Structure 1
Amino acid sequence: MLKLSAALVAFCAIPALAAPAAPTTAGALSPAEVLRLQAIAKRVTILRDKWGIPHIYGKSDADAVFGMMYAQSEDDFKRIELNFINAMGRLAEVEGEKALYQDLRMKLFISPEQLKAQYKASPDWLKKLMVAWADGLNFYLHTHPNVQPRLLARFEPWMALSFSEGSIGGDIETVNIEQLKAFYSKQPAPALAAVGSDLDNEPRGSNGFAIAPALSKSGHALLMINPHTSFYFRPEIHVNSQEGLNAYGAVTWGQFFVYQGFNERIGWMHTSGGGDVIDEYLETVVEKNGKYSYQYGKELRPFRSESVRLPYRAADGSMTEKTVTAYFTHRGPVVREQNGKWVSVAMMNEPLKALTQSFIRTKARNYRAFYKSMELRTNSSNNTVYADADGNIAYFHGNFMPVRDPRFDYTRPVNGAEPATDWKGLHQVRETIQLFNPKNGWIQNTNNWPFSAAGAYSPRPADYPAYMSVNPENARGIHAVRVLQGKKDFTIDSLIAAAYDNQLPAFEPLLPLLVRAYDEAPASDLSKAAVIEQVTLLRDWDMRYSLASVPTSVAIYWLQDQVKHYGPAAKEKGMPILDYLATQLTPKQRLEALVRASNKLAADFGSWKTPWGEINRFQRLTGDIVQPFDDNKPSIPVPYVSGNFGALAAYGMTSQQRTKRMYGERGNSFVAAVEFGPKVKAKSILAGGESGDPRSPHFNDQAEMYARGEFKDVLFYKEDIEKNLERKYRPGE
């Protein structure tokens, strides 16, 4: 059983435990259950403000969680259900055999039996929250019989542990599905050809800025919360109880804690990345009489084997299943084969502690309490930027950090037969890379390394093991330092302006090379003759995007063309594509890329002289998880650019482009700027709107503001909410 310190338990009162919700197979609620849930609903009030943002008020934390899940379900139940279908490894039951090995990947780490045991071992206060979580979802389904779940007709409290930490990517998703399938289906592994580049996808990550009181006009600390997620991945919510819960911010659909946000005293922003927290081991396998063992020092250890059932929906709609025998070492599951050796993987798998940490940090009221929550050390894939009403700013580079022997290179699979490669417990928080009130007065992280997080007062690489920071600097990090360094008198509005600065640093080393290639090319060069006007525009371009900017369009199409043509070569050399383009291309190749880019612009839009706002758009047509796009339907011009190019306000398309225009799917999603004074002040914006229902007035009511970078005032205090009230009700009404 997880034992929490008295300080952590003190975050939550521990009233009597409510009866658990019924199991998923139980069908409709019994009359007694309905009466019990109706009684809870009477203790919950939901205030919807003019933007449709739900402000939930409950007597206890559990009551607030009940209302929180009910309100989330009202806004987008299908996203909640899909998150938990996926988290429990049951996607193939609704999407068919194509999802079979995605389910296996989840089930190698998560099983209902383990989660039920952890639920049983949970402290009473957390059990009560998990019960309330399931109750809120089940009460929504009971009161909305027209909503037909794809699979989960009933939620059980233990299920909350299957999705217990707010990371965007998810550690488990780092396991390659195709290689996993090849190993367990005994089929040849797919060839890992050098295709694409490291810029093929919009970066998964975020920006976080913290400003100390000395640099703010008000003398109060400021926090910029700028997640770069897929759009509609997190709604905006405010949850309150009489037990001290008062958290506002972004919550991942189906979770009962505010993942990135603030209360009246502190704020927390998570950025992805950090250190090396997932390691692979090359296992030397010995087979005897059909039994498999692995070498570990001088001994042979038997693999633990487990039969994993994988139900799936067949093409005719019927249910069938496949059973896979999975193998495990003491470090973790076997996930692939490499050069005749099996590869096992070690990663954090502490759902109970992770869920505890995720909730209790939302109730912290000062740095000491927040730090205490960090000592649970289960925020595995995130950094944290922090600010509070006492004037403190802080940064934690990662949180879960295994202790390892620095002689080994853990960026590659290590020798599993060598016991010295094992993890040796976890680093204490004080041993990890962090900052507290640096003298420069600001902190930034953009999923980059921590060694520029506070300018001259940043941590130094030599002071830490290499595995504690594995990400390089990036163009957004360079950009962030520029907009923060040497500035003062920050306000909420000027902090937003800094976070939306329109410079594109990725072009700075590349465009001079193009101009030089043009200037030095002979007059007889046909490529030179074809791009006279384009180079003239780019020569004078300030490398800042805008809706009316033609050079933005030309430069982005030029860079995209180079990425497409030279990305595989860069991969073969093991070079970041931007470094490759800056050092490996010939002048002629640079000019030819500009010719191709200009021709594509002309073919798609009638002229290469097309302003960026004609190309780059926001469109939300349906409530589908994956949005369809249509050039013939209404859309909104958006000036922002991919984070790959150093844009702080990131905006990129992630699905295969089947349209001429580009439509954003990932980047700035929920964004908030917060000031921590005697009263907290904040502004925020959502991509589109709060609701996933196209019939709702809050499906797209923030879209125009989002495109303009115009923020709404956060309604944090009840008197302000009631002045801007759209609806007040109790769950079930």
Structure 2
Amino acid sequence: MLRKRNRNRILSCVLSLLLVLILGSQTLGSPAQNTEILWDTYGIPHIYGKDTTGAFRAFGWAQMQSHGNLLLRLYGQARGRAAEYWGEEYIDSDRWVLTMGVPERARSWYEAQNSSFRSYLDAFAEGINTYAKENPDAIDDEVEVVLPVKGEDILSHLQRVLNFSFVVSPQRVAGISTPESKAGSNGWAIAPKRSASGNAMLLANPHLPWSDFYLWYEAQITAPGIDAYGASLVGIPVLTIAFNENLGWTHTVNTYDGWDAYQLELVDDGYRFDDKVRPFETKNISLKVRQKDGTLREEPLIVKSSVHGPVVSEKEGQATALRVVGLEQPGVLEQWWDMARSQNLAAFEKALQRLQLPMFTVMYADREGHIMHLFNGQVPVREQGDFQYWRGIIPGNTSKTLWTKIHPYQDLPRVIDPPSGWLQNANDPPWTTTFPVAIESDKYPSYMAPRFMDFRAQSSARMLDEDEKITLDEMIEYKHSTRMEFADRILDDLIPAARKYGGELAQRAATILEKWDRQANTDSRGAVLFAAWAQELDLDKAFSQPWSEDSPRNTPDGLANPQDAVKLLETVAQKVEKAYGKLDVAWGEVFRLKYGNVDLPGNGGDGDLGIFRVINFAPSEDGKFQPVAGDSYVAAIEFSKPVKAMAVMSYGNASQPDSTHQTDQLELVAKKQLRPVWHIREDVEAHLESRQVFSRMGK
């Protein structure tokens, strides 16, 4: 009897072990029988790939289902043929793309991919094409001209977005209109010593325009060797902000200079360089433009290039040439892919060390408790000058100013596991990522990054520094803080000045500002008045005490000219009262979360006011304001077992006109809430909207 019980016990153990092995084989690294997309109730695709190629195909398909019209239009623009497809309004865009040599370079980048990754790009394109073929009514007729999409189109789009929009702004260089507002971001990494649960935590919070190629797309990709959840910009075939069960990262836009404008001295048909006259390299391109009657006219485009790069302007005996980093590094997408596949800090850093990504700070946390801030980018090695010098027009007549190398990985500002236990970046330089200071600016070239800490970064650091043990819920609450650091700094001077120097209107304004909660919540009264006043200030002259490295979190401070400040307050108060009928109008009455067919009272505001919960508003026709940028994809992640994660996509996870997911998360934004992230299959199955199985797609 005893032997029988032992045999049963052994058999039970063996069966349990087999069950564990079977279940384990269905997670990371295991091939599924068929590639599937499980769509959850927020329209987020959870891709389970039979193999890596199948996962890329399915991701292409998914992006088309959610953003097909936008994706094809973006790829058409990246080809430099948008004017040919859609008319005159795209001429400037095409000129920029073709002058920068984007399509031609994309072809060479495509050939430079290793054979495996090239096949993944082809698979992503195949998924796009197959979706369009099988769902012709789902795509607008006018964008179908872009089909079929090829692997090189993906790389053209990548360059247009990354190198020629983020690294260098076409608006700044060539006067080409781009989506409103500036790109920004917040990022936090919290070590176990500062976490209430003892687990590391990560906050991902990019601030980008709510339109065009800046739209984020949330997804999960699971295939042999990868199980990652995160987001990517529409048209990009890999996750660019992501986490897996062991680690995660986010990006912030760093204070970084990866391009330079060189002033050339024209001589005859060439330019002077090192006391010699050099000829320009010249390409003649025919730019086709569709007319209203459907015919095409041709417009010549002559692209001149110096040793610095393409010429972007030419007049009165001078020309300006542009030099941009990253044009010889074709492995950006594969690096991001391998970052998402990494399972520990060593593997993650090995991917980072390739330096294929031309810019963006990396904020990192993992299950082992490590946190890291890397000032990532391809930073040119320069012989002279500080950051401000290289932001100006650079003399192009000498090789002394022509950089040809970039700093290796070990030269970049970086900190791992600082004594403070926390790291933050709110688009401030790396020197202020934590306190006590962990990265000393004096140890790096003065051109590496500027020195400042604005109000939003100060607010960010204050919230982290003041809480010794932060819970995940508290991190989410802090993320939604609308407190105006600027108001905390200046109202103790402005209100007494208004009492002393102001008339009846200034006195009423001072009373409202005294009662105001100094936040930009829906019901905050006084925020509209203060924000309108702050917007009119000349910030370079407003403070009696400028920002100081000796007191980076408490300066600038004080009113330089209290009487002028009060006079401006009276002028602004008159405008606010006239526009809204009262001085203490609620923030949410004026600032609306209006997007698509949804119109809700808003909260949050411009980061320049020191608001951590950034939403950039622009005037609308009704005299109020609506969002154009700011909080877009937000994710709060705790590296527990299993990982806990909450997220929101402000504008929803789709832009197709028939999708129910265009604005279905905006109410969460209005309520300052995140939703659970379903990244374990049984949770996805429990919140399933639809299932798509690909037994075979395309080839």
Range class of TM-score, shorter chain: 0.7 to 0.9
What do residues 651-696 of structure 1 show as CA deviations (whole Å, max 9, x unaligned)? Answer: 1124x53232211121111100011133211000111322224543
Match for residue 367 of structure 1 among 340, 345, 350? 345
> What is the aligned-residue identity percentage?
25
How far did 1:176 drift?
4.4
Partner of 2:185: 206
Q: Does residue 1:470 correspond to 2:434, yes or no? A: no
- Equivalent residue letter for 1:277: G
How far did 1:339 drift?
6.8
Q: Secondary structure at the match of 1:554?
A: helix
Partner of 1:450: 430
Partner of 2:252: 271
Match for residue 264 of structure 2 among 283, 290, 313? 283
Query: Given the superposition, is the C-alpha separation of residues 214 and 519 from structure 1 closer, same or farther in structure 2, using an over 3 Å criterion?
Result: same
Query: Given the superposition, is the C-alpha separation of residues 583 and 605 from structure 1 closer, same or farther in structure 2, using an over 3 Å criterion?
Result: closer
Q: Does residue 1:648 correspond to 2:635, yes or no? A: no
Distance in 2 separating the partners of 1:134 and 1:360: 20
How far did 1:359 drift?
2.3
Query: Given the superposition, is the C-alpha separation of residues 505 and 337 from structure 1 closer, same or farther in structure 2, using an over 3 Å criterion?
Result: farther
Partner of 1:10: none
Partner of 1:93: 84
- Larger deviation: 155-164 or 408-417? 408-417
- Equivalent residue letter for 1:619: K
Partner of 2:151: 157
Match for residue 308 of structure 2 among 328, 331, 335? 331
Ranges in structure 1 where 5+ consecutive residues have no aligned partner: 1-12, 14-39, 182-199, 522-526, 623-633
Matches for 1:351-500 after TM superposition, within 5 Å: 352-407=330-385, 409-470=389-450, 472-500=452-480
How far did 1:102 drift?
2.4
Partner of 1:194: none
What do residues 83-136 of structure 1 show as CA deviations (whole Å, max 9, x unaligned)? Answer: 222323233234533432322111122343332233223211111111101101
Please say if residues 456 and 607 of structure 2, whose CA atoms lie closer than 8 Å, have aligned partners that are also in contact. Answer: yes
Query: Given the superposition, is the C-alpha separation of residues 272 and 490 from structure 1 closer, same or farther in structure 2, using an over 3 Å criterion?
Result: same
Please say if residues 49 and 55 of structure 2, whose CA atoms lie closer than 8 Å, have aligned partners that are also in contact. Answer: yes
What do residues 615-639 of structure 1 show as CA deviations (whole Å, max 9, x unaligned)? Answer: 11112226xxxxxxxxxxx611122
How far did 1:337 drift?
4.1
What do residues 243-264 of structure 1 show as CA deviations (whole Å, max 9, x unaligned)? Answer: 2122211111111111112122
How far did 1:46 drift?
0.7
Q: Secondary structure at the match of 2:400?
A: helix
Matches for 1:275-314 after TM superposition, within 5 Å: 275-287=256-268, 292-314=269-291
Partner of 1:529: 504
- Larger deviation: 109-118 or 490-499? 109-118
Please say if residues 97 and 313 of structure 1, whose CA atoms lie closer than 8 Å, have aligned partners that are also in contact. Answer: yes
Please say if residues 167 and 272 of structure 1, whose CA atoms lie closer than 8 Å, have aligned partners that are also in contact. Answer: no
Distance in 1 separating the partners of 2:437 and 2:317: 47
Distance in 1 separating the partners of 2:489 and 2:434: 24
Q: Does residue 1:260 correspond to 2:237, yes or no? A: no
Distance in 1 separating the partners of 2:505 and 2:109: 67
- Equivalent residue letter for 2:614: A
Q: Secondary structure at the match of 2:390?
A: coil
Query: Given the superposition, is the C-alpha separation of residues 101 and 718 from structure 1 closer, same or farther in structure 2, using an over 3 Å criterion?
Result: same
Partner of 1:109: 100
Q: Does residue 1:621 correspond to 2:596, yes or no? A: yes
Partner of 1:134: 125
Query: Given the superposition, is the C-alpha separation of residues 79 and 471 from structure 1 closer, same or farther in structure 2, using an over 3 Å criterion?
Result: farther
What do residues 698-726 of structure 1 show as CA deviations (whole Å, max 9, x unaligned)? Answer: 23222211111111110011111111112
- Equivalent residue letter for 1:86: Q
Matches for 1:691-702 after TM superposition, within 5 Å: 691-693=654-656, 695-702=658-665
Distance in 1 separating the partners of 2:86 and 2:610: 37
Ranges in structure 2 where 5+ consecutive residues have no aligned partner: 1-27, 548-554
How far did 1:312 drift?
1.7
What do residues 551-580 of structure 1 show as CA deviations (whole Å, max 9, x unaligned)? Answer: 1122122223x25xx58999xxx99xxx99
Partner of 2:50: 59
How far did 1:461 drift?
1.4
Partner of 2:12: none
How far did 1:488 drift?
2.5
Partner of 1:170: 165
Q: Secondary structure at the match of 1:550?
A: coil
Query: Given the superposition, is the C-alpha separation of residues 699 and 479 from structure 1 closer, same or farther in structure 2, using an over 3 Å criterion?
Result: same
Q: Does residue 1:554 correspond to 2:532, yes or no? A: no
Q: Secondary structure at the match of 2:346?
A: helix
Query: Given the superposition, is the C-alpha separation of residues 510 and 641 from structure 1 closer, same or farther in structure 2, using an over 3 Å criterion?
Result: same
Query: Given the superposition, is the C-alpha separation of residues 506 and 202 from structure 1 closer, same or farther in structure 2, using an over 3 Å criterion?
Result: farther
Please say if residues 264 and 321 of structure 2, whose CA atoms lie closer than 8 Å, have aligned partners that are also in contact. Answer: yes
Cα root mean square deviation, aligned:
3.0
What do residues 319-366 of structure 1 show as CA deviations (whole Å, max 9, x unaligned)? Answer: 222112111122211112477432211112146222222322221221
Q: Secondary structure at the match of 1:352?
A: coil
Distance in 1 separating the partners of 2:690 and 2:427: 39
Distance in 1 separating the partners of 2:654 and 2:62: 10
- Equivalent residue letter for 2:118: K
Q: Secondary structure at the match of 2:154?
A: helix
Distance in 1 separating the partners of 2:266 and 2:320: 10
Please say if residues 222 and 228 of structure 2, whose CA atoms lie closer than 8 Å, have aligned partners that are also in contact. Answer: no
Distance in 1 separating the partners of 2:353 and 2:99: 27
Please say if residues 51 and 698 of structure 1, whose CA atoms lie closer than 8 Å, have aligned partners that are also in contact. Answer: yes
Query: Given the superposition, is the C-alpha separation of residues 363 and 260 from structure 1 closer, same or farther in structure 2, using an over 3 Å criterion?
Result: same
Q: Secondary structure at the match of 2:447?
A: helix
Distance in 2 separating the partners of 1:154 and 1:568: 52
Q: Secondary structure at the match of 2:301?
A: strand
Q: Secondary structure at the match of 2:196?
A: coil
* TM-score normalised by L of structure 1: 0.82
* TM-score normalised by L of structure 2: 0.86
Please say if residues 382 and 398 of structure 1, whose CA atoms lie closer than 8 Å, have aligned partners that are also in contact. Answer: yes
Partner of 1:342: 319
Q: Secondary structure at the match of 2:43?
A: coil
- Equivalent residue letter for 1:227: P
* Moved >6 Å (runs of 4+): 567-570, 579-582
Query: Given the superposition, is the C-alpha separation of residues 471 and 719 from structure 1 closer, same or farther in structure 2, using an over 3 Å criterion?
Result: farther
- Equivalent residue letter for 1:223: L
Q: Secondary structure at the match of 2:136?
A: coil
Match for residue 123 of structure 1 among 114, 123, 132? 114
Partner of 1:629: none
How far did 1:201 drift?
6.7
Query: Given the superposition, is the C-alpha separation of residues 369 and 170 from structure 1 closer, same or farther in structure 2, using an over 3 Å criterion?
Result: farther
What do residues 359-379 of structure 1 show as CA deviations (whole Å, max 9, x unaligned)? Answer: 222212211122122222132
- Equivalent residue letter for 2:513: L
Query: Given the superposition, is the C-alpha separation of residues 545 and 171 from structure 1 closer, same or farther in structure 2, using an over 3 Å criterion?
Result: closer
Please say if residues 355 and 377 of structure 2, whose CA atoms lie closer than 8 Å, have aligned partners that are also in contact. Answer: yes
Query: Given the superposition, is the C-alpha separation of residues 515 and 569 from structure 1 closer, same or farther in structure 2, using an over 3 Å criterion?
Result: closer
- Equivalent residue letter for 1:334: V
Query: Given the superposition, is the C-alpha separation of residues 676 and 167 from structure 1 closer, same or farther in structure 2, using an over 3 Å criterion?
Result: farther
Distance in 2 separating the partners of 1:374 and 1:598: 51
Please say if residues 354 and 378 of structure 1, whose CA atoms lie closer than 8 Å, have aligned partners that are also in contact. Answer: yes
Partner of 2:3: none
- Larger deviation: 342-351 or 612-621? 342-351
Please say if residues 105 and 172 of structure 1, whose CA atoms lie closer than 8 Å, have aligned partners that are also in contact. Answer: no
Please say if residues 643 and 650 of structure 1, whose CA atoms lie closer than 8 Å, have aligned partners that are also in contact. Answer: yes
How far did 1:75 drift?
1.0
- Equivalent residue letter for 1:347: V
